[in-house]
Structure 1
Amino acid sequence: MAKTKVTGATSRLKQDYLRLKNDPVPYVTAEPVPSNILEWHYVVKGPEKSPYEGGYYHGKIMFPREFPFKPPSIYMITPNGRFKTNTKLCLSITDFHPDTWNPAWSISTILTGLLSFMLEKTPTLGSIETSDYQKRCLAAESLEINLKNEMFCELFPAYVDEIEELLKQRQQALLQTENNSNNSESEVTNDQQSNMHYLLTNLFVLVGFVFLAFMVKHVLVSVSND
């Protein structure tokens, strides 16, 4: 019986995978683990004009053997400021709410629901409250964090290339900023040196003029006394 259920889940997941490839979910990509089709990993690419913009958020979905008659469990792996990491998320599309689960829902439905809830601020078990500023900071940090995750690198090589290019651009921008800063400091130093030279030159001229005036006065006094 168990074997039949696994076969049923496998068949359904393969069908969902083909549908997902033909009709991708915006901002979300998902891939099954090659050795276990009941374990899927996903990446949410932060939507524009959201606190998650620029971030890549990795998580996983664990499907039961009884899928699609029982719901999956969903976890977030990358810190994101919305969900606790490595903790089951309490959503209507997860095993926290088997009473609301609909066997007709597909992987696309699950991913769409996850993205929708991520963009909301409704609290639930497994969610956390952070500011938009903190979320943006985590979005930037997510790049390097994901590159250290072997499963992420194995399943999402295209994203690995994107992230490496982004990090390269970030490093170049940082170096350019440092160079501009150094050039500005150098220009300021040169200006200061020029100003000091100008002041010293004027001081020497003034001292020379005063000395010359003193000497002329001394000569005139001497001539007058004679």
Structure 2
Amino acid sequence: MALPKRIIKETERLLADPAPGISAIPHEDNLRYFDVIIEGPNQSPFEGGVFKLELFLPEDYPMAPPKVRFMTKIYHPNIDKLGRICLDILKDKWSPALQIRTVLLSIQALLSSPNPDDPLANDVAQHWKENENNAIQTAQEWTRKYATA
């Protein structure tokens, strides 16, 4: 089955001009499925971490958003235990004008600024609100434990 030109163009750009701290490599046997690596941003609780994600482009992409989830455990109020991500552009704020690159940059930005007011992991968000410093320490411990080689 032929891939739409748009997916081919986006994939070529991701490979030729990757965003800093992000890599997305398509599977040979399914070019809609990407192995993604996002480095924890500097000055964030996730600094020094290397996070693996999976990204899948559904049949109706770009009319529907890509499906993305963290494979690496992470302590973050907007990412649940299953790795699902609470991010508006992956849901109701999706637009066909957005691209894989935009999505990955937005996820990277989410690592820099967790939002406990729009949580997916309620327990983590509660911890973040009640004792932010302690929650950040936990996030740093998890990053060392699960996201460093």
Query: Which gives a bigger RCO, structure 1 or 2 (Cα 8 Å, sep 6+)?
Result: 2
Does residue 70 (structure 1) correspond to residue 64 (structure 2)? The answer is yes
TM-score, length-scaled by structure 2: 0.79
Q: Larger Cα Rg: Structure 1 or Structure 2? A: 1
Output the amino acid matched with 1:67. Y
**CA RMSD, Structure 1 to Structure 2 (Å):** 2.1
Question: Deviation at 1:143?
Answer: 4.4
Q: Could you tell me which of 74, 79, 87 is aligned with 2:73?
A: 79
Query: Hey, what's the Cα distance between the residues in 2 that align with 1:104 and 1:29?
Result: 21
Q: Which residue of 1 aligns with 2:131?
A: none
Cα 1:37–1:30 shift into 2, 3 Å: same
Does residue 18 (structure 1) correspond to residue 12 (structure 2)? The answer is yes
Cα-to-partner distance string for 1:9-53 (whole Å, 9 max, x where unaligned): xx3222111112232212111112221122212111112222111
Q: Could you tell me which of 11, 22, 27 is aligned with 2:21?
A: 27
Runs of 5+ in structure 1 lacking a partner? 145-162, 164-226
Output the amino acid matched with 1:32. P
Paired residue secondary structure (1:109): helix
Output the amino acid matched with 2:14. L
Cα 1:125–1:62 shift into 2, 3 Å: farther
Cα-to-partner distance string for 1:159-206 (whole Å, 9 max, x where unaligned): xxxx3xxxxxxxxxxxxxxxxxxxxxxxxxxxxxxxxxxxxxxxxxxx
Q: Could you tell me which of 136, 139, 146 is aligned with 1:142?
A: 146
The answer to whether the 8 A contact 2:15-2:25 is kept is no
Question: Deviation at 1:85?
Answer: 3.6
Q: Could you tell me which of 107, 111, 114 is aligned with 1:118?
A: 111
Query: Hey, what's the Cα distance between the residues in 1 that align with 2:46 and 2:58?
Result: 30
Q: Which residue of 2 aligns with 1:105?
A: 98
Query: Hey, what's the Cα distance between the residues in 1 that align with 2:49 and 2:83?
Result: 20
Does residue 91 (structure 1) correspond to residue 97 (structure 2)? The answer is no
Q: Could you tell me which of 48, 52, 56 is aligned with 2:50?
A: 56
| Identical aligned residues as a percent | 23
Cα 1:36–1:126 shift into 2, 3 Å: farther
